[in-house]
Homo-oligomer: A and B are copies of this chain.
Amino acid sequence: MRYKVIVSYDGTLFDGYQIQKDKRTIQNEIQIALAKLYQKEIKISSSGRTDKGVHAYGQVFSYETEKEIEPYKIKKALNTYLPKDVSIINVNKVDDSFHPRGSIKNKEYVYKINIGTFNPIERNYVYQHGYDLDVKKLKKAAKLFVGTHNFKNFCTNDEEEKKTYVRTVNKISISKKDDIIIISIVGTGFLRYMVRMIIGTMIAYNDGKVDLDNIKFSLDERCPNRTIYKVPSEGLYLMKVTYPQR
């Protein structure tokens, strides 16, 4: 049978989500905990990776097993085995057609920016930008990214060639409370660094380093220039992965 699991983690002390040799990764911690529970190696499939320093409230993974255990018992056991910076939020039995990456309807990322005084307590959880941003300007730039575009210029180039760089951003919302700006981006899928490059470019527009036409052109597949603006990882949270109701 197949289980779908929602997991939350603090990315600060991890070298990212995906397993890498001799590195502390979230996937590895989860697989160690599963091995303890089932007394055998179990590989998980996930909705996608997150980079070093990125946090998650609602990462989703699934795994296969022949042994049936009640979901609340799985949750309890895994949380006993996992380190304190990873925590299982929910476990569900799902049918065999479910795949955490293939079945995605929407993914939501949130990015937090502090425009006030440097805050040492939140330094790993909110990007300490240090100077004011104009929410109206950010919204103006954000609008250009909403819709279906070729995001070739808004991703890393250190990966193998992608089949397609076309992605759909459904919504970008921006709110401000005191000195904290919160940006939510919802889309059907994201390329590596795409969220951080979109927000980096929004800030570059705020600062007068690019104009709206530059941004429009960089979303044109014929544009040869990669984006050079990228906000740091510590402000980024994978909030939620949603799947179509069955």
Contact = CB atoms under 8 A, between A and B. Distances in A.
- Most chain B C-beta atoms within 10 Å of own C-beta, residue among A86, A121, A123, A125: A121
A87 interface: yes
A85 interface: yes
Nearest to A7: B120
Nearest to A83: B120
A87 B8 contact: no
A55 interface: yes
A119 B85 CA distance: 9
A85 B8 contact: no
Nearest to A84: B123
Interface of A: 8-10, 55, 57, 79, 84-87, 89, 117-121, 123, 125, 237
Given A79-B118, A118-B79, A123 B85 contact: yes
A91 to B, nearest CB: 13
A67 to B, nearest CB: 26
Given A85-B120, A87-B117, A89-B117, 13 more contacts: A8-B120, A9-B120, A9-B121, A10-B123, A55-B121, A84-B120, A84-B123, A85-B123, A86-B120, A87-B118, A87-B119, A87-B120, A121-B237
A117 B10 CA distance: 15
A9 B79 CA distance: 30
A75 to B, nearest CB: 10
Nearest to A85: B120
A8 B120 CA distance: 7
Contacts of A120: 8-10, 84-87
18 contacts: A8-B119, A8-B120, A9-B121, A10-B120, A10-B123, A55-B121, A57-B121, A84-B120, A84-B123, A85-B120, A85-B123, A86-B120, A87-B117, A87-B118, A87-B119, A87-B120, A121-B125, A121-B237
A18 B35 CA distance: 43
A106 to B, nearest CB: 22
A87 B79 CA distance: 34
A25 to B, nearest CB: 15
Give the top 9 A-B pairs by smallest Cβ distance, nearest first.
A87-B120, A10-B121, A10-B120, A85-B120, A87-B118, A55-B121, A84-B123, A8-B120, A9-B120
A87 to B, nearest CB: 4
